[in-house]
Amino acid sequence: MAGDVIQPMVSVIVPTRDRLQFLKEAVQSIIDQTFGSFEIIVVDDGGEDVSGVLEEFRENRIRQIRCKASKGPAAARNRGLQAARGKYIAYLDDDDIYYPEHLETMVSFLESGACNVAYSDACRVNQENENGVYITKKKDIPYSFDFDGDLILLKNFIPTLCIVHERSCTDDVGEFDESLYTHEDWDLWIRMSRKFKFAHLRKVTCEYTRRRDSTSLTGEKRGDFLNTLKTIYSRYRKYVKDNPLLIEAQQRISGLMEAEIDFNYQVSTIEIKNKPETIDAAVSVIIPVICSNDRLKSLIAKIKSQKKVGDVEIILTSSAFTDSVMRVADEAGAGVVISGEGPEIKLTGYGARGDYLVCINQDAVPVSDYWLFNMLCPFFEYHQIAALSCRKFTRPDADLYSRWLNYSTEKSFEIERDYFVFPMRKVSKEVKREIIENITRKRLLFFENTALCFRRRDYDEIKTAVPVGKDDMLLGVELLKMGKAVGYLKSTGIYFDRQSGADYVFKRHYSNIKRYGVNQMFYFHMKGIGMDCLLASIMGLYEVIGVSLAVSGNAGLSPAAAIKSFLESMEQNLSIPPDKSGNTDNDKIIKDRPLDALLKEIVDDRVFSSDLKYDFRRNCITADFMRRFEDVAEYVFDNEQQLSEKEDDFAVCICKILAMTAGESLGAYYIEAEALNAVSGDLKRIDEILDKG
């Protein structure tokens, strides 16, 4: 609907600065709206003149405001508000877009008179710069929350482009706070929420972009985010002062962000440049032994074949040795020590004579004959290093889940192949110790005794505090507390993968969340999700996945065909649940037997209604599962030429992804219940199964 608009229904405010390459697409997305009664107010915030770009549209609904100097997004939006003539106000950053029905959807709802402020959902587009071109790597919908007056006091869950409000709202509560360079939108939403009714429309009507560089308004500005977060918490303290739960949640959120910032300032990557020709220092390689097998023999042989390290002793440790292990030790000329403490290792208690102590899992195998040499080199070049671990590679015969997990973990670490990483060496005194330890431990997921090397003198300082194997990451935490540096070497490593069932994956991720914490506290409380609802969500999704796998099948399919078939089946079963589609024949549903047995033990004698199990709008784990499956699909498309010859490899991978997601959700629920002093007897029973089992 083009043409002159004397009194537009909607004023769309578009702040812009030096991003002409994106502005054109943003403005075009407004012009393409199915609802035509709008004006576009482009506020040029002191950057490069955008007149040329706007003139190309030959559109009389566009107005330009040019600022002489940049004063930030809040000031730019305020200039637009002051010039706006519409009954309703909408916002669009210059690198975001509306979908064609955005304004029609929002205005139609607001015109019904149900509320003064409405917001929709937005798709987030994650991009990376590759050779000067932004490539979309992933799309997701991170925010889709019904409005909650308490939750808005904890965090901003409404992206600016999603919201449309009556002009009278800002006339009443005031405009954006120009003293805030971040969170200025959140501040305004809080003020409006105290006086006006908000409504959430569960429809994706727009998309915004997150880029891994400074061109995105939501890029790396964590310091500003923390400062304004504290400002907003202080400013609206009166709304939370009588609610201990909200106060605790605010403290946790700000503490986590402060810890993350403090940690990031203490991380650096360094290149290993000066390697010695050979290493003459004594090295003790310690192998905790559970049983004698071919992998143990292969490991010992591989250690004995290591090059450029002249003085190596091998020590096998166990609480009790079998005759077969003793024979392996005799053949290898290895020392044998009975620890009496199971898998825990007090390295210096074994009479190890090495200046460097290396602990390696008996199922691990070094990738090359120079593994030990490369593990030791950083200690000679950087004397502040106390300990380091190395890269884990999956074996060529590993299952699909293990290959994907290794790939995604390495991808998240984001360091170049030949670089060495220092985690934090000191922490802020203002951050709670338990919070900093949770952040640190999450970053120390790579620091573990699968293949771990210590400088002897540094280990001697903490040997009585934490034995290796008791909690791998506690070693890293203790060293960091002492001002030592620990690291991760990516240029070498070991083959290692633990072929474990989905039940083990469930328990492991449950325990990890309990041990290392969650970023989003009180999620279940704020969303009104009880334990029955959570367990029903898990069981409902498990059944839908089983039906979808049975319907789609994967034997003989190419990776792309298997993924497409499963997704189509999932989409159908999420839309029409199994109880309504008739796909409830237990003989046809694919189940993972160990996971199935574990879920039955957790659920016990509960019987869930179909409405509770298959309410996928309310199901709190479906979105997380689908995000992980999207990661698997990306990995398969990029790296897998064909699926494993094992017919069930694809199905097993899917079940393990569900186990990860469900385990983490239950772990997060337990943490929340504990914080609220609301751990029931039944939740304790489940905890015994998962954390102690």
The burial class, CB within 10 Å (0-12 / 13-18 / 19+), for 434 is exposed
Domains and CATH numbers, the chain: 10-213 (3.90.550.10), 273-495 (3.90.550.10), 502-691 (no CATH)
- Give me the residue label for tokens 């590679």: 393
Q: Give the C-alpha distances (Å, rounded to integers) separating 87 from 107, 173, 194.
A: 10, 16, 21
Instruction: Please give the full DSSP string across 471-539, using - where no structure is assigned.
Output: -HHHHHHHHHHTT-EEEEEEEEEEE------HHHHHHHHHHHHHHH--SSTTHHHHHT--HHHHHHHHH
- β-bridge partners, 122: 206
16 residue type, one letter? T
Alpha-carbon distance of 266 to 331, in angstroms, equals 46
* pTM exceeds 0.95: no
Query: What's the distance, CA 344 to chain centroid?
Result: 30
- β-bridge partners, 389: 452, 488
Alpha-carbon distance of 379 to 633, in angstroms, equals 39
pLDDT of amino acid 337: 66
pLDDT of amino acid 117: 97
pLDDT of amino acid 404: 86
At 683, give phi and psi (nearest 5°). -70, -35
pLDDT of amino acid 362: 86
* Residue 535: other Cβ atoms inside 10 A: 24
pLDDT of amino acid 339: 57
* Residue 334: other Cβ atoms inside 10 A: 19
At 253, give phi and psi (nearest 5°). -65, -50
- Give me the residue label for tokens 């009180």: 522
pLDDT tens-digit series, residues 383-435? 888 888 888 888 777 888 888 887 777 666 554 445 555 544 544 444 444 44
Q: What angle do CA 110, 113, 118 make, to 5 degrees?
A: 35
pLDDT tens-digit series, residues 556-571? 567 777 888 888 888 8
pLDDT tens-digit series, residues 526-579? 677 889 999 999 999 998 898 888 876 655 567 777 888 888 888 888 877 776
Structure-block tokens of residue 319? 């609480």
Candidates 351, 345, 348, 358; CA nearest to 461 is 348
pLDDT of amino acid 553: 63
pLDDT tens-digit series, residues 71-90? 889 999 999 999 999 999 99
DSSP H helices in 576-621: 578-581, 593-603, 610-613
Give average pLDDT by consecutive 10-residue segment, the chain, 693 residues. Answer: 67 92 93 96 89 90 90 93 96 95 97 94 87 81 87 93 97 95 94 96 93 50 81 94 86 76 62 86 88 82 92 84 80 68 49 87 89 91 84 80 80 53 47 45 58 85 58 65 76 77 91 71 74 91 88 65 84 76 60 89 90 76 86 80 64 92 92 84 93 65
pLDDT of amino acid 429: 44
pLDDT of amino acid 651: 86
Handedness of CA 526, 531, 532, 533 (dihedral sign): positive
pLDDT of amino acid 219: 36
CA atoms within 13 A on the CB side of 294: 0
* Residue 264: other Cβ atoms inside 10 A: 14
DSSP-derived pairing of the beta strands 485-495 and 10-16: unpaired
Helices and strands (DSSP H and E) totals, the chain: 25, 19
Candidates 451, 300, 290; CA nearest to 361 is 451
